[in-house]
Structure 1
Amino acid sequence: MASYTISEINNILKAELIGNTTQKIEGPEEIRKASPTQITFIGSKKYAKFWPDSEACAALVHTDLDLEPGENRAFLKVKNVDLAMAKLLELFNPPTPVFDTDIHPTAVIHETAKIGAGCKIGANCYVGKAVELGSEVILYPNVCVFDDTTIGNNTIVWSGTIIRERCIIGSHCIFHTNVSIGADGFGYRPSEDGKGLVKIPQIGNVIIGHYVEIGANSCVDRAKFSSTIIGDGCKIDNLVQIAHNSIMGRSCIMAGHSGLAGSVTLGDGVVIGGSASIKDHTTIHSGATVGAGSGVIGDVEAGKTVLGYPAQDARDMLKQWAAIRQFLKKK
């Protein structure tokens, strides 16, 4: 198990060191659960009250908080505790699973596939016709990559993920377990005799940019024609649905259980809260935020925050909720 002195940690974080501790630090932990060999985090006054009873030997602390660490304890004061915590967690991050062989003998790789230098392909993977993998791509066991798909350098694909034919994936992406990329979009119309449904062929593909991360059990459907597009740097949580022909700009965030219907367009830096749903053919412009559980049925202006069902300006919705509470109190 790795352990570090407070000075070694501070050499990485470049924080303001207050106090000192001789204790070797073996990992991070929540302030009320930390042991004497662990470091914790105090990002706001809400958590400062727990410090006197915490057993942690050290803490990352926001610069605005007026606290004393105490005997044989230390603070590392930083402007952004969350970003400092990310660096600290990386320091203690356990190693990923080890490949005994770069390409497992049970993997099925089509003779026309191109496998870049340093790729690792786990047990029972399938790599189809004319697939191209860049350098240092990792396919963990039981991944399927179908025909004519390209995957950029240093992309990691975890077990159970299926990438359908003709997809274009960028570099440095991470797809967690059981992601579906490039399945048919959801398109049906009533038959002429009114007795059934006619399936609309979905002949497009999915294009995913660089540094995109997609959480477990999320789905990105291919387009009816043209492409479903996810821009560089987007981060998508677990159990998210992105429907056919949707387009996401750069660095968008979608939280768990949210979903885009067909042909939705997101600008750059859009944030979609958990369980929010976006109506088809809607545009949410750059920098806008959709609150958790909201239902968006119309376009959203750049930089605006909307909330509720149907979603509207967050300030107006909060005023309505407050008025309803006051009305109910009077009844």
Structure 2
Amino acid sequence: MIDPRFYRLLGPKTLAELAQVVRAELPGGFDPNLALRSCAPLDQATPSDLAFCQGPAKGQSLIETKAGACLVRAEHAALLPAGVAPLIVKEPRAVFAAAAAALVARRDFDPTAPAVPASVKLEANVIIGRGVVIGEDVEIGQGTTIGPNSVIGPGVAIGRNCRIGANVTIYCALIGDRVTISSGSVIGEVGFGVAPTANGPVDVPQLGRAILQDDVSVGSLCAVDRGAFGDTVLGIGCKIDNFTQIAHNCQLGLGVVIAAFGGISGSCEIGDNVMMGGRVGLGDHIQVGERVVIAAGSGVLESVPAGEAWGGYPAKPLRQWLRESVALKRLVNPKPQASPKGGESL
């Protein structure tokens, strides 16, 4: 669901208007004046939403959605539920970018407003550094410090006793109590959603939120992207080191620790009390169970069961990786064989 604290609904648009935007034929048998107010993923869409579908989900023969209309390829149009208007296009995900831009826009700064607008709610003992710019309807809790030249976007809520460093940017985010975000980090900016087209890749809108729960700390020069539709969540007590990237829709449990230069791809789920060494990278849609330990420099390309220790590239159970590393070393550099005279063979 689009959060009105961070986004403006530009509609409603009629089915006929959206068909024109996406250059699709108006489907027969559907009301051209059907009002579509927003956009949503298939599984969350309501009759007033536009959705898109690349094809049926794995293991399903039909497309399940309650959307009012859906961008879909011609070969999949008949798989939609009877009440969903098909807008037939060649590249649904890419075309969705144009359709979403006609329905939703992120709230931005009013260039005529003061640096701290009257709609901002500040509790007691909030310290705001020089050069800070704050958007409309921001809320900042008691005892929080905002460092110089930071930017707090419209609608953002920051809890009590937080420390926001210098040159931090926060958009589309809800920040809990006692959160630390060190200098130069960016929270809640657009994630890396790209759809290929015949004319080159296009950016797909990111319309979700970033949520940092209580006692989270984020180091310097990190990026935590907002969700594509849902939320990117850092659970209570997560500790994120410098130069770490957490992509859209990631869900981190309680007490997750990620050392410097971590790279977490989109839609990963990381369980409670996971520890990752420096330069660990996760591929997209990977699940990491609770209490997992991942060695520094590992590249994780498959889900990791709870309680295990993994390492290597591609990452695998740590003991297996170490045995394979030793075996490979012996294969490449075998020990010299002694000659019959007691010397070493060449």
Q: Same fold by TM (over 0.5)?
A: yes
CA distance in 2, matches of 1:202, 1:325: 46
2:186 counterpart of 1:180: yes
Structure 1 residue 197 displacement after superposition:
1.4
One-letter amino acid of the counterpart of residue 136, structure 1 = G
Structure 1 residue 226 displacement after superposition:
1.0
After superposition, where does 1:133-152 map in structure 2 within 5 Å?
A: 133-152=140-159
2:215 counterpart of 1:211: yes
Q: Which residue of 2 aligns with 1:92?
A: none
CA distance in 1, matches of 2:158, 2:232: 16
Q: Structure 2 unaligned segments of length 5 or more: list them.
A: 1-113, 336-346
After superposition, where does 1:271-290 map in structure 2 within 5 Å?
A: 271-290=275-294
CA distance in 1, matches of 2:117, 2:251: 31
Structure 1 residue 186 displacement after superposition:
0.2
After superposition, where does 1:229-248 map in structure 2 within 5 Å?
A: 229-248=233-252
Q: Which residue of 2 aligns with 1:310?
A: 314
TM-score (norm 1): 0.66
**3-state SS of 2:333 partner:** helix
Within the candidate set 153, 157, 164, 1:157 is matched to 164
Q: Which residue of 1 aligns with 2:177?
A: 171
Q: Which residue of 1 aligns with 2:204?
A: 200
String of CA shifts for 1:148-182, please: whole Å, max 9, x gaps.
Answer: 01000000000010001x31000001111101000
Structure 1 residue 329 displacement after superposition:
2.6
Q: Structure 1 unaligned segments of length 5 or more: list them.
A: 1-106
CA distance in 1, matches of 2:302, 2:222: 24
Q: Which residue of 1 aligns with 2:14?
A: none
2:276 counterpart of 1:269: no
**3-state SS of 2:330 partner:** helix
One-letter amino acid of the counterpart of residue 116, structure 1 = E
Q: Which residue of 2 aligns with 1:28?
A: none
2:343 counterpart of 1:323: no
2:143 counterpart of 1:120: no
After superposition, where does 1:29-44 map in structure 2 within 5 Å?
A: none
One-letter amino acid of the counterpart of residue 134, structure 2 = V
One-letter amino acid of the counterpart of residue 189, structure 2 = A
One-letter amino acid of the counterpart of residue 303, structure 2 = D
Structure 1 residue 328 displacement after superposition:
2.3
Change (3 A) 1:190 1:329: closer
CA distance in 2, matches of 1:253, 1:152: 22
CA distance in 1, matches of 2:289, 2:312: 18
Structure 1 residue 205 displacement after superposition:
0.7
Q: Which residue of 2 aligns with 1:72?
A: none
One-letter amino acid of the counterpart of residue 256, structure 2 = C
- Between the two structures, name the one with larger relative contact order (CA 8 Å, sep ≥ 6): 2
Q: Which residue of 1 aligns with 2:232?
A: 228
Q: Which residue of 2 aligns with 1:108?
A: 115
Structure 1 residue 242 displacement after superposition:
0.1
Structure 1 residue 264 displacement after superposition:
0.3
One-letter amino acid of the counterpart of residue 145, structure 1 = I
After superposition, where does 1:291-306 map in structure 2 within 5 Å?
A: 291-306=295-310
TM-score (norm 2): 0.63
One-letter amino acid of the counterpart of residue 115, structure 1 = L
Structure 1 residue 230 displacement after superposition:
0.3
Aligned length: 222
Equivalent pairs: percent with the same residue? 34
One-letter amino acid of the counterpart of residue 168, structure 2 = T
Structure 1 residue 127 displacement after superposition:
1.2
